[in-house]
Amino acid sequence: MRTSGWVPFVLLSFACARVHSDANDVDRGGAAGRNQGGRDAGGRDAGGRDAGGRDAGGRAGEVGSLAEAGAGGSAGKEGVAGGIATAGVAGTLAVAGAAGKGGEAGTPGWTGLLDPGFQELPPNAWTLSNGAVIQPKQATGAVDPGRIWLPMYPDYDAATGHIGTTSNCTGAIFARQQFDAAPFSVRGPTAVELSAGSGVGGTIGSLLVRGRPVLSFDGREAYATRRTCLGEGAYGPGAEFSLWARTLGTCWEINGSFVDHVGIVSDATCPAPGEVPNGDFEGTGGWTAASSGPGGIAEIAAGLGSQGSHAAHLARTVAQQVSLHGTISVPLGSSRPHAALQFKVRGTAGATVNLSLGGTWHVLGTGAFETHRVCLPDSVSGLVADLGLSIDDGTDARDFVIDDLAVVDDPGCSSPSFIDDPGFERQDGVSSWMLVSSAASSSAHIESNPALAHSGSGYLHLVGTACLGDQDQLSASTTFSLPPAPVDGLFAYELHFFYRRPAATGMDYLLGSVSLPETDVWTEETGCSYFPSFVENLTLYLRSGSACSASFAPDDLYVDDVSVSRVASCPVQ
């Protein structure tokens, strides 16, 4: 079946190491020389008031002082942002708000992101929860006069010392805004800028787009502006931005963080949805090389590609790690439900090279060019995500060439894709499961036999014949993505899988602290856990129990059909 915090989750041990406006009323903000502060026939301020109460210039210059009725502030210079300028009420003054930096571009027919500076302009643009408070005029040393406070203990009263019982320490969503953004074909490439910091205690957080993290911040630092390219999730109807935060370390009643600004800006360097910048390696830029020591090779080289073209080249001869890092603009699953990343690889026979994108795939070399595809994981749907090519640290010599990375449609992929190859069906030299067997008496394999599998033909097979030493490991691990963050910011999920253990001869197979008993038939097992994150490493460990004897008959465990979901029977903690 090919389909595509920090609380320990152990199976054998499982460890998670998740206005529209009338055309007569709308003017595009930001155009210098338009709305020159005059007075129109209706007595309205021709300078206009945008949907956020900001100067219609977007990233405006100083806001002009208000004159007599009908006089407007001086138009700001055209910026990358600006709200939709809506005429003021006839006969009244248009209220000149502070110049907004980086609001969504004013495009007729689309709302855009409002109140990027948390000044309540307009009021209630952000939906607040979990004790979040907008302070319109209290930010100092930051981008905007306003800010939003994200408290870990929303009921804490410094004057009385009252703390309350409600805590956001493990993670919560504090503010969200849904809006209809212009499509990429109208808006063009954009990035998001976020200014945050100057919090109290160890608090960290993320800006989410449609429930997926795109930019992180650290409340322990002074105010700093961070920037990243936006993907398809920030375009079109139903775009949603939200702020999530949690405590890092001990949670105290005074802990919390400030966010000063969240704004969208134009950025011609950002890729279009579905694009892998310089994915054929024929252009310049797009990739950064790294090597852990001398002798390693991480480069874009001429003449090595599948058609004698340029290609990525990774090689090592001694204990080194080498890598190339780029980006990919992953399309939304709703627009391309069968999207996959296609690439070509030629490498040392029997060795592997890694491809990382919201998880890691291990690609087996054969000595000849092979074309492979991996389904795009849900965790990066609609985002501009990191894309990595690497060879892990080790002593064996390896040499790999990678070429022609591109997003294609593959009917074998489906959206959403939370766990890659959950049924262990891939037999093409590409696997998202890392198998480790460091003890001579143990083994971990993905096998294919319809007569033994729960469904299809593939399954995971772990077997031990003796106690594992302290340094021994028998494991199969993969990275799974959790479904998008719910509005409440809490992440409780059930993990489902089927297992069969024909004879319990000496090993302990564990789900958390519960042993998996002997059963000769496929048995469904579930585990419920709370995740204050968005993507987790799911690791399957096999280890010996306290009553383990020196050796025993083979103790086989078969695992198949792994899945994860958020369901009513898994209560939110």
Give me the mean pLDDT over the 340-346 stretch.
98
Give me the mean pLDDT over the 262-276 stretch.
97
First to last CA, the chain: 33
Give the DSSP per-residue string, 353-410: EEEESSSEEEEE--SS-EEEEEEPPGGGTTSEEEEEEEE-S-SS-EEEEEEEEEEEE-
H helix or E strand, kind and range, residue 187: helix 184-187
Q: How many of the other CB atoms lie within 10 Å of CB of 128?
A: 16
Confidence tier at 196 by pLDDT (50, 70, 90): very high
The alpha carbon of residue 387 and the mean position of all alpha carbons in its chain are separated, in whole angstroms, by 12
Confidence tier at 298 by pLDDT (50, 70, 90): very high
Confidence tier at 111 by pLDDT (50, 70, 90): confident
Helix/strand number for the chain, H first, E second: 1, 36
Give me the mean pLDDT over the 7-19 stretch.
33
Per-residue pLDDT, 393? 85
Given a cut of 70, is residue 419 above it in pLDDT? Answer: yes
Q: How many of the other CB atoms lie within 10 Å of CB of 156?
A: 20
Chain segment 522-569, per-residue pLDDT in tens: 999 887 766 655 556 566 555 555 556 667 788 898 999 998 877 655
Per-residue pLDDT, 170? 81
Confidence tier at 150 by pLDDT (50, 70, 90): very high
CB neighbours of 102 closer than 8 A, spacing ≥ 6?
58, 59, 79, 80, 81, 116, 193, 261, 263, 264, 265
Q: How many of the other CB atoms lie within 10 Å of CB of 129?
A: 17
Given a cut of 70, is residue 92 above it in pLDDT? Answer: no
CA gap 118, 133 in Å, rounded: 10
Output 435 or 69, whichever has higher pLDDT.
435
Q: Lowest-pLDDT range, 4-18, 136-150, 251-265, 412-426?
A: 4-18
Q: CA 182 → CA 13, 106, 108, 187, 243, distances in Å? A: 47, 9, 9, 6, 22
**Under DSSP, is residue 46 helix (H, G, I), strand (E, B) or coil?**
coil
- Is the C-alpha dihedral spanning 426, 365, 386, 493 positive or negative? positive
Q: How many CA atoms lie within 13 A of 468 on its CB side?
A: 24
Per-residue pLDDT, 541? 57
Give me the mean pLDDT over the 177-185 stretch.
94
The alpha carbon of residue 55 and the mean position of all alpha carbons in its chain are separated, in whole angstroms, by 33
Chain segment 449-463, per-residue pLDDT in tens: 999 999 999 999 988
Q: Quick check: 282 and 310 in contact, CB under 8 A?
A: yes
Which long-range contacts link 39-43 to residues 24+ away (Cβ below 8 Å)? 39/70, 39/71, 40/70, 40/87, 42/87, 42/90, 42/91, 43/69, 43/70, 43/90, 43/91
Confidence tier at 207 by pLDDT (50, 70, 90): very high
Cis peptide before 273 (omega within 30 of 0): no
Q: How many CA atoms lie within 13 A of 122 on its CB side?
A: 16
Nearest to 217 by CA among 230, 201, 205, 234: 205
The whole model's pTM is what?
0.77
Per-residue pLDDT, 543? 56
Q: CA 558 → CA 395, 445, 497, distances in Å? A: 32, 10, 10
Q: How many CA atoms lie within 13 A of 16 on its CB side?
A: 25
Nearest to 538 by CA among 437, 427, 419: 419
Cis peptide before 292 (omega within 30 of 0): no
**What share of residues in the chain are helix, strand, coil (percent, to 5)?**
0, 40, 55
What one-character DSSP code corresponds to residue 162?
B
Per-residue pLDDT, 568? 57
Q: Lowest-pLDDT range, 173-182, 360-369, 497-506?
A: 497-506
Specify which of 153-167, 261-275, 545-559 reaches the highest per-range mean pLDDT.
261-275
With pLDDT > 70 as the criterion, what percentage of the chain qualifies?
Answer: 72
Give me the mean pLDDT over the 290-299 stretch.
88
**Under DSSP, is residue 569 helix (H, G, I), strand (E, B) or coil?**
coil
Q: How many of the other CB atoms lie within 10 Å of CB of 566?
A: 17
Given a cut of 80, is residue 187 above it in pLDDT? Answer: yes
Phi and psi (nearest 5°) for 468? Answer: -90, 135
CB neighbours of 265 closer than 8 A, spacing ≥ 6?
80, 81, 102, 190, 191, 192, 193, 227
Domains present along the chain, CATH in parentheses: 21-90+98-104 (no CATH), 127-266 (2.60.120), 288-329+334-415 (2.60.120.260), 432-565 (2.60.120)
CB neighbours of 45 closer than 8 A, spacing ≥ 6?
37, 39, 70, 71, 72, 87, 88, 93, 94
Per-residue pLDDT, 471? 62
Per-residue pLDDT, 295? 78
Given a cut of 60, is residue 49 above it in pLDDT? Answer: no
Per-residue pLDDT, 402? 98
Average model confidence (pLDDT) across the chain: 77
Given a cut of 60, is residue 70 above it in pLDDT? Answer: no
Overall size of the chain counted in residues: 573
Chain segment 388-406, per-residue pLDDT in tens: 999 998 888 999 999 999 9
Per-residue pLDDT, 520? 93
Give me the mean pLDDT over the 432-444 stretch.
82
Specify which of 78-92, 102-116, 267-281 reaches the highest per-range mean pLDDT.
267-281
CA gap 234, 183 in Å, rounded: 9
Q: Quick check: 58 and 103 in contact, CB under 8 A?
A: yes
Chain segment 463-511, per-residue pLDDT in tens: 887 776 666 677 788 887 776 656 565 566 777 899 999 988 777 776 6
Confidence tier at 93 by pLDDT (50, 70, 90): very low
Given a cut of 70, is residue 38 above it in pLDDT? Answer: no
Tokens of 442: 């143990």
Nearest to 325 by CA among 354, 345, 301: 354
Confidence tier at 19 by pLDDT (50, 70, 90): very low
